[in-house]
Amino acid sequence: MEQKIAELESELAEARSKYLRLAADFENYKKRVRQEQLETIQHASAELIGRLLPVLDDLNNVLDHKPRGIDESWVKGLELSVRKLEEALGTHGLQAIDAVGARFDPKQHEAVGHEESTEHPEDTVVSELRRGYRLRDRVVRPALVKLARPPAVRSENPTD
């Protein structure tokens, strides 16, 4: 009888251990599936947002280069539409990268040129050619920028 009890206790301990491992595995599985779903949603958002950024750029270019004599109510309507689009993208985590005046960061900026400057330290962004954006903590599109360089030293005695 004692042997049977010991056998049953051993089986019970094994069943409990198996149950605890299975429960832990299932919890890990649920966490992994939730994380994968979140990443899938965020990736889908990033792709859609990436496709909308050129449209946003074009609308901002229209506003920056509006012709003279255009109806101001039309301009205000376009500005409102651009602002609504920016707000809608912002609700999904889109943020503009502040580039001008910042130190060059290759993770956020793409340098396409430089300008001689005595006002700014070397490798400081002095102009932005195309706005960059980040989606939460990931850069969707780096900013195209020009960097400050010290003026070239010119020789007092040119040699021919």
For the chain, what is the mean pLDDT?
90
Task: Pick out the chain residues at pLDDT < 50.
Answer: none
With beta carbons less than 8 A apart as the criterion, state whether 131 and 97 touch.
Answer: yes
| Sign of CA pseudo-dihedral 12, 17, 20, 26 | negative
Which amino acid, residue 46? A
Contacts of 144 (CB under 8 A, 6+ apart): 109, 110, 112, 128, 129, 130, 132
Contacts of 135 (CB under 8 A, 6+ apart): 42, 45, 46, 49, 92, 93, 94, 95
Alpha helices in 65-109 (DSSP H): 72-91
pLDDT at 68: 87
Domains of the chain: 93-152 (2.30.22.10)
Place of tokens 């958002």: 45
Q: What is the pLDDT of residues 149-159, one digit of tens each?
A: 988 776 566 55
Alpha helices in 65-141 (DSSP H): 72-91
pLDDT at 157: 60
pLDDT at 159: 57
pLDDT at 158: 57
Burial class (CB in 10 A: 0-12, 13-18, 19+), 6: exposed
